[in-house]
Structure 1
């Protein structure tokens, strides 16, 4: 019988011993610009392939769109359980370089911080996954199941050519998955709200501006009335399903005790959030506008569906007597989660405590991610990765080196617990 605790400790010690190699790998990934857009993952995919080939682990390349390459590699026993470790190579654009205090593609380590675009989202986590995957082979660890590394090129612009593409084409499957997306050190995300993005177009009747409001019909002023109704979505009383209430409560506890600056955001876990993102209307100040378009980002809690939101909007907007149309676009998902008791959640959460001797528990996120795609295919999933959360997608992105090392240790130990569990 395998002593799994001893095996986990052996792997953790090996990560510690080779931590400089891990940090060098992370730095190298950051030094390769992989901004999306444009979304060309050729250079970084080749680098990862060359790294893994050192250990006879050559990944398959799957081009989902022009120069967007998904990499897949598996190690272990195909007859056992399969654990997917997933990460994305793309990063958001660096933006105005004059607003950075350092080269966003330097990958430098300064005062214990790894610096650069993607440091937190999510090249540090990606480096941890790749490093641990290679380490298993280097140490000739005989796994009773299979560890699959799935590296995707397209998450930051919606992910159409990444995780969902792999799942739709039956290129990956598993009993559980871990995405190395940024999280807090002791609190992986095991659930997320749904997304409901829509564009409202309000129609008016053009006329000379000097005759408004008597002449014509102003699409912009009608759109303003519509926006007031749309914002009332926040005030809807939604019944949270009983099975979800413990997750909501522990997530609110997290906001109170861990990320205390987010205390005021506790209500978003039970409410429909409404962001009026863009407004476009009219052609000239002296012409009564014929059209006004409004794009809205709503995030849906557990307890309400897309159809129910659509029905509410129809009733509310019809009551105004305006002419309008609505079309859905962008992210579309219902609130979704993985049980805290699922083996993949237990493997990560328990090993955060094993590595750090600190209480750990899973929480909800109020946004969306690739995790929803795994759940659509009945693959339990959670997210855990190194991050300095305030710097994500901003200037001067960074992550603490010690966080990169800690997460890699958790990744290594979790493989053992998950694959050895019957």
Structure 2
């Protein structure tokens, strides 16, 4: 990496931090806050610098993100930097030792909800877009910066609107700015989710007649699901490095004490792998359901309603855009490993986007603590290095055609 990029990154840091601070001070909790104020901060910043941008809306016309587009002078592939600017909820605010919207810097840490995930990355990415606009005549293809909201709801409204936008070039790959400096996340398990509804005769809990309520039937189903046979962890180096996982994450049924309820709903979350996909997950869950209905028959068959199914994804280290990010990190002496993550992320959505999917990395950023928890903070000493890595990676990609 050229020394001038490293120096430029250091010079950019204070401006990046200042923008991130302002974003943190505008709460944008997914599904709770209005996203317009936080996106207005970014619109103002982009407009003042003459960066081309436009709003993204979902099918209902709701504002779900901003898209910045820097076109190169020569034909080539488009690549995307993506950072969400909505956040997790604050949780128990009394447990925080500072305000979730503090947006201040204390002992080298940027503090507040969104500092780690991912307002600092959003601030860095728009600065990189500004850097590249100044040299667009030397670039092939183009750079898009997706500043999406509706991410923490799990709906991924901004990313979906981007992919559905007929005026946006389909990206050859996406680099997602999740935090963490030890790894470049090149893959993640997929997911299969369903709501399972268990039925039973209703009755008074004090009745002399024995009534097995829906909650009791649901409890038995949880036992069957928890003991379901899933493939184990693969041997070291044998393909996808993680095993599938099944979890019952919610149970809803009944009210008060006197009534034995006639229905109970379970949320079932299965994390999938290439060797155990959504169809396999559905088979395991339906097998447990069939066992329940045979063992403890109800008035209606237990119903399984699929809610979501995303494929797993994994890039090899030589595939783009993973290679560009790993090479850029190595060029300034940062030792990082390619990692396949357990949780799912926007990379899974991209993997299922049309023929062949869209390859993505889903994490490389500054060190952090408290992500989605109390006292969220992002460490700033490493910001110049992270900025320089992304800047160099994008330059490499836009010079490759």
Aligned residues: 389
Which residue pairs with 1:400 in the alignment? 379
Correspondence for 1:298 among 258, 270, 293 = 270
Query: How far apart, in 1, do the equivalents of 2:95 and 2:212 lie?
Result: 45
Aligned: 1:335 with 2:312: yes
Q: 1:277 to 1:239 in 2, by over 3 A?
A: closer
Match for residue 245 of structure 1 among 233, 238, 246: 238
1:219 and 1:349 map into 2 onto residues whose CA distance is 52
State the secondary structure of the residue aligned to 2:52: coil
Which residue of 2 is the match for residue 270 of structure 1? 243
The residue number in structure 2 matching 1:371 is 347
Q: Distance in 1 between matches of 2:317 and 2:257?
A: 56
Distance 1:176 1:281, change over 3 A: closer
Rounded to whole Å, the distance in 1 between the matches of 2:74 and 2:152 is 32
Q: Secondary structure at the match of 1:18?
A: helix
CA contact (8 A) 1:12 1:413 kept: no
Kindly tell me: are residues 368 and 231 of structure 1, through their superposed partners in 2, closer, same or farther at Cα, counting changes over 3 Å? same
Alignment of 1:152-231 (within 5 A): 152-170=148-166, 171-182=168-179, 184-211=180-207, 215-231=210-226
Deviation at 1:123, TM superposition (A): 0.7
User: How does the TM-score come out when normalised to structure 1?
Assistant: 0.85
State whether structure 2 residue 280 is matched by structure 1 residue 281: no
State the secondary structure of the residue aligned to 2:306.
Answer: strand
Paired residue for 2:72, among 70, 76, 79?
76
Q: Distance in 2 between matches of 1:165 and 1:140?
A: 26
Question: What is the rounded CA distance, in whole Å, between the counterparts of 2:397 and 2:119 in structure 1?
Answer: 24
* Alpha-carbon offset, residue 314 of structure 1: 2.1
Contact preservation (8 Å) 2:51, 2:68: no
Q: 1:325 aligns with which of 303, 322, 330?
A: 303
- 2:46, 2:138 → 1: CA distance? 18
**Displacement after TM superposition at 1:327 (Å):** 1.2
Q: CA deviation at 1:88?
A: 1.3
The DSSP-based 3-state class of the residue aligned with 1:145 is: strand
- Cα shift readout 1:278-307 (whole Å, capped 9, x = no counterpart): 222234433333222222222123311222
Query: Are 2:126 and 1:117 aligned?
Result: no
Instruction: Give the deviation of 1:27 after TM superposition.
Output: 1.5
> 1:259 is matched with which residue?
none
Provide the secondary structure at the position in 1 that maps to 2:276.
coil
Give distance in 1, aligned partners of 2:337 and 2:362: 12
Displaced runs of 4 or more, over 6 A: none
Asked if 1:16 is matched to 2:13, the reply is no
Which of residues 345, 358, 379 is equivalent to 2:322?
345
- Change over 3 Å in CA distance of 1:71–1:420 after alignment to 2: closer
- Look up the match of 2:142: 146
- For residues 305-351 of structure 1, the C-alpha deviation after alignment (integer angstroms, 9 at most, x for no partner) is 2222222222232123233111122x421222222211211110111
- In structure 2, the residue matched to 1:28 is 22
> Does the CA-based 8 Å contact 1:49-1:58 persist in structure 2?
no
Compute the displacement of 1:139 (Å).
Answer: 6.0
Deviation at 1:371, TM superposition (A): 1.2
Task: Give the number of the structure whose residues are more often helix, by fraction.
Answer: 1
Partners of 2:54 and 2:68 within 8 A in 1: yes
Unaligned stretches of 5+ residues in structure 2: none
SS at structure 1 position matched to 2:102: coil
In the TM superposition, residue 172 of structure 1 has moved relative to its aligned partner by 4.1
Q: Is the 8 A contact 2:74 2:137 kept in 1?
A: no
Which runs of 5 or more structure 1 residues have no equivalent in the other structure? Answer: 249-268
Question: How high is the TM-score relative to the length of structure 2?
Answer: 0.89
**3-state SS of paired residue (2:76):** coil
State how far apart, in whole Å, the 2-side matches of 1:414 and 1:140 are. Answer: 15
Q: CA 1:149/1:208 → structure 2, altered by over 3 Å: closer, same or farther?
A: closer
